Amino acid sequence: MRFPLISSLTLSLAVAGLPVLALAKDDAFAGIKEAAKAQASNKMAEKFNLPSAAPAGAKVYIISPANDATVTSPVTVVFGLSGMGIAPAGTQIEATGHHHLLIDDPTVDFALPLPTSEQVVHFGKGQTETTLKLKPGKHTLQLVLGDWKHQAFNPTLASDKITITVK
Ligand SMILES: [Cu+2]
């Protein structure tokens, strides 16, 4: 009497299991399709320098030093961001980016990935502050948020440009 019981149990499990297996397979294909789509659109974005959309209300600002502050070098600069998150460079997560500090007003084309220079510093590890060695005198500082491919958002998310005096 045991045999029929087991076989009917096995049968009912198999029947119950079928839709689950089918669903898992569909999910796997959907996942692969989604990943392929995302990869293709990332490549297009990179190739044509397509800016990422900035979430409404997002703001980038310099927490310190204050505008017109007189400071001593090295100067600690603290970055502020609201309405978005920070992600390391190369990591594409919607509504995230990484900071770039523009020192002494370099000329930058925001339609292209931000260059790297002494005056355009990337914080691709997701840093939210830095320490700068600056010569005595007046300097300007401005933050620009870049997306995963170091490109400014649309619209551009940049802080007010502050002026500091290094003693
Ligand atoms: Cu960058």
Q: Per-residue pLDDT tens for 122-135?
A: 999 999 999 999 99
How far away, in angstroms, is 67 Cα from ligand 1 center?
24
What residue type is 154 in one-letter code? Answer: N
Q: What is the pLDDT of residue 22?
A: 58
How far away, in angstroms, is 64 Cα from ligand 1 center?
21
Q: d(Cα 20, Cα 26) in Å, to the nearest integer? A: 10
pLDDT of 13 above 50 = no
How far away, in angstroms, is 63 Cα from ligand 1 center?
20
How far away, in angstroms, is 33 Cα from ligand 1 center?
29
Q: d(Cα 143, Cα 158) in Å, to the nearest integer? A: 5
Give φ, ψ of 130 to 5 degrees: -155, 170
How far away, in angstroms, is 2 Cα from ligand 1 center?
68
Q: What is the pLDDT of residue 49?
A: 83
pLDDT in tens, 73-99: 999 999 999 999 999 999 999 999 999
User: CB under 8 Å to 149, separation ≥6 — which residues?
Assistant: 45, 46, 89, 90, 113
pLDDT in tens, 134-158: 999 999 999 999 999 999 999 999 9
pLDDT in tens, 21-73: 556 667 778 888 888 888 888 888 888 888 899 999 999 999 999 999 999 99
How far away, in angstroms, is 28 Cα from ligand 1 center?
33
How far away, in angstroms, is 156 Cα from ligand 1 center?
14
Q: If 0-12 CB within 10 Å is exposed, 13-18 middle and 19+ buried, where does residue 36 land?
A: exposed
How far away, in angstroms, is 90 Cα from ligand 1 center?
9
How far away, in angstroms, is 122 Cα from ligand 1 center?
4
